[in-house]
Structure 1
Amino acid sequence: MNETTPGAAGDTPVQDPLQHSAAGRSDVAGSDAATQMLAASEDDDLRTSVAALSRLATGQMQLADVLTRIAEYAVAAIPGADGAGLTMIEAGRSDTIVASAPFVGQVDAIQYSIEEGPCITAAAEARTVRSGSLSDDPQWPHFGPRVGHLGVHSVLSIPLLTSDGVLGAMNVYAHRPGAFDTHAALIGELFAVPAAIAVQNAQVLAQTRRLAAQLQAALTSRSTIDQAMGIVMSRIGCGPDEAFDRLRQISQSENQKLHTVAQHIRDEAIRRARARHTEA
């Protein structure tokens, strides 16, 4: 009977199960460490982007510029993102749409032109939507194939929510399929909270600026009309009501705004006065 000596030439080496177990634990530990490092890096990106949001000088920027900057911060914060866009919905006004990259503008132009896509769904239903295979995603059967041809295969769209309701939506895109997992969606939702506040603040500031401009224009217009009424009153010797009626009649007959008619009368009176002064 032949006996085989362990470790002899030609035999299959026998591994120590304890050593094998230790090596397995080492591999798992290394994998865990790498995962933790990646998560820490992503958390740092989120913190950096949120901190940048808090430093936005909204008082010195136009609304579209603020929204564009927020979209850029979203790209930096959310793992796998190649570009992002923001759509702000405002009652009585056209939606404000910005993009961090040209391809995002192309993608968003498609969804708004056909009225189908992740941003529309996220804003209308106030929920986060995502896809890692847009070309054949049944959620958007017309939108998906079109953007798939552009090489965009993943999307994460998150509504911008405040106590006043849905302000709009943040759309994050990636070229590679399956770019946004549950963790990326969670980071996106965490970022969307301060982003919505920043958008709301920028919106309020823009509305205040528009109101101030409208008020200034109204005051200027009223002043011009009052001056024109004074000129008409002095020319024909009438009261303010009749002078205003004369201006209104001219406005209607010439199909011009009342302010335009008043400004023409005032400017013509100034021109004549300067001409008389020159002749004297």
Structure 2
Amino acid sequence: MDLPALLVHVADFAAHAIPGADGVGLTLVEDGRADTIVSSAAFVRTVDAIQYRIGEGPCITAAAERRTVRSASLGKDPSWPRFGPRVGRLGVHSVLSLPLLTDDRVLGAMNVYAHAEDVFDAWAVELGELFAVPAAISVQNAQALARTTRLAAQLQSALTHRSAIDQALGVLMSRSGCTPAEAFDKLRAMSQAQNRKASAVAQQLLDEAVARARARRSPG
């Protein structure tokens, strides 16, 4: 399962598993920036966007302090004097934010919201914390897979470009009898003159060489 599909699965499962939850969002922290990647309900993104914009809220606290955060009445909670009243006016009053932790870092947080006050009891907290452990491991594995997939694609692209450049150098050498270094200088000069990447110029040279070879083989 790729990362987006996995996160959707985790959010949906948590929304059904944690008693009283009206919506769940998963926030990932990358390069110091928090972003809600998936949510089980539209209002979750609105709520999370508020705390990211003003720089305070249960999700930010949970990730920064590596601890579970719970509020029974956000509108009256002094922990977040700007965030709480704003989301309270939107009709969101209870929250349970659980950090997604690994041994060496915080991946993000799982934010569970409810419209009513005082929804999440001790059992909901315990259930959420139990669920957050395998969720964090799954997210970490999916992130590693996504990075590996991106790297493999980049390496494949680099190898393809290198192969095209090497073949194009061969075309230039066969045309003019130049050395490999001279052929490379010719390709680089063409790239600069056309303001195009060397790999694109090389591919054009190959396509033209193939077209000429086919034309020579054609009858008449």
TM-score with structure 2 length normalisation? 0.88
Q: Alpha-carbon deviations, 1:193-236, whole Å to 9, x = none?
A: 11111111211221221121111111111111111211222222
**What residue in structure 2 maps to residue 125 of structure 1?**
65
Q: Which amino acid aligns with 1:119?
A: C
Contact 2:36 2:48 in 1 (8 A): no
113 and 245 in structure 1: CA distance in 2 versus 1, 3 angstrom threshold: farther
Instruction: Determine which of 107, 110, 117 is the counterpart of 1:177.
Output: 117
Contact 2:34 2:108 in 1 (8 A): no
89 and 131 in structure 1: CA distance in 2 versus 1, 3 angstrom threshold: same
CA distance in 1, matches of 2:217, 2:81: 75
Contact 2:27 2:34 in 1 (8 A): no
Secondary structure class of the residue paired with 2:101: strand
1:91 Cα offset (Å)? 4.6
Q: Which amino acid aligns with 2:81?
A: P
Q: Which amino acid aligns with 2:123?
A: H
93 and 212 in structure 1: CA distance in 2 versus 1, 3 angstrom threshold: farther
Secondary structure class of the residue paired with 1:89: strand
In the alignment, structure 1 residue 99 sits paired with structure 2 residue 39: yes
Contact 1:158 1:189 in 2 (8 A): yes
CA distance in 2, matches of 1:178, 1:196: 26
**What residue in structure 1 maps to residue 26 of structure 2?**
86
Instruction: Determine which of 207, 212, 219 is the counterpart of 1:272.
Output: 212
Q: Alpha-carbon deviations, 1:11-55, whole Å to 9, x = none?
A: xxxxxxxxxxxxxxxxxxxxxxxxxxxxxxxxxxxxxxxxxxxxx
Instruction: Determine which of 196, 208, 212 is the counterpart of 1:256.
Output: 196
Secondary structure class of the residue paired with 1:204: helix
**What residue in structure 2 maps to residue 138 of structure 1?**
78
**What residue in structure 2 maps to residue 193 of structure 1?**
133
CA distance in 2, matches of 1:160, 1:85: 12
275 and 145 in structure 1: CA distance in 2 versus 1, 3 angstrom threshold: farther
Q: Which amino acid aligns with 2:104?
A: D
Q: Which amino acid aligns with 1:116?
A: E
CA RMSD across the alignment: 2.3
Gaps of at least 5 residues in structure 2 are: none
Q: Which amino acid aligns with 1:262?
A: A
Higher relative contact order (CA 8 A, sep 6+): 2
Secondary structure class of the residue paired with 1:97: strand
1:190 Cα offset (Å)? 1.2
Q: How does 1:1-280 map to 2 (within 5 A)?
A: 61-91=1-31, 97-278=37-218, 280=220
Q: Relative to total residues, which structure has the larger strand share, 1 or 2?
A: 2
1:148 Cα offset (Å)? 2.5
Contact 2:36 2:45 in 1 (8 A): no
138 and 279 in structure 1: CA distance in 2 versus 1, 3 angstrom threshold: farther
Q: How many residues align?
A: 220
Deviates more, 1:259-268 or 1:168-177: 259-268
